[in-house]
Amino acid sequence: MMASKNPVLIALSILLGFSFICMGLLKVSQVIDKELHRDVRKTFKNFAKIFPILPNLGVYVSAKYYRLTVGYTELVGGLILLLLLPFRRIQLLANGSLLIVSLLTVYSHYVLKDKFERIAPYLVFALMLSCRMVVFYQVLKRDRIQGEKLAKTQTYDDNQQQQIAENNNDEEQIDESKKRK
């Protein structure tokens, strides 16, 4: 299904797409900044220790694979938001996965008792992703309503055309009967 040209949805997609591409690249490689990449690696060592649910089950996550999974999820999700603007459903999946990653990061920072400065960016991204989902569903609902109105209008027009054709046929039959008499 193709997306409507909603400027809010497009702007949020582009902004979030670029942001998550940068954050994903930062986690996956040293392309952006070596020092920040090193800091992210240290942070994910702490994140892996407190990953929700799994420590309770006795299962532990490798910090490297956790970081790479989050990084590639952000990178691919950002690319999808940025490049696949016309494809609603794919963007919705990317939006949902990025929202989960953002909330998981907020949770991890909160459990580690990090400063609010470290939590705030992911809170903002989670709120923006949530707003994007709300706008998406509003556009979807509006398009569905417009489609129903269009279908009703077309049905009405088809019925009118059918009545006109029937009237013309009736008139032709009357004319033919008059000519025969």
**How do residues 59-112 score in pLDDT, each as one tens digit?**
777 888 989 999 999 999 999 999 987 788 899 999 999 999 999 999 888 988
Query: CA-to-CA distance for 65 and 15, rounded, in angstroms?
Result: 27
- 77, with CB counted inside 10 A (0-12, 13-18, 19+), is buried
- 71, with CB counted inside 10 A (0-12, 13-18, 19+), is buried
Position 152 pLDDT exceeds 50: yes
Lowest mean pLDDT among 54-68, 72-86, 128-142, 145-159: 145-159
Name the residue ranges covered by the structural domains of the chain. 7-142
Average pLDDT, the chain: 83
Following DSSP, what letter does each residue of 59-76 receive, concatenated? ----HHHHHHHHHHHHHH
CA-nearest of 52, 97, 53 to 75 is 97
Query: CA-to-CA distance for 48 and 22, rounded, in angstroms?
Result: 22
Confidence of residue 3 (pLDDT cuts 50, 70, 90): very low
pTM of the model: 0.73
Lowest mean pLDDT among 63-67, 71-75, 136-140, 170-174: 170-174
pLDDT at 139: 86
The pLDDT > 70 percentage for the chain reads 80
> What's phi and psi for 2, nearest 5 deg?
-85, 145
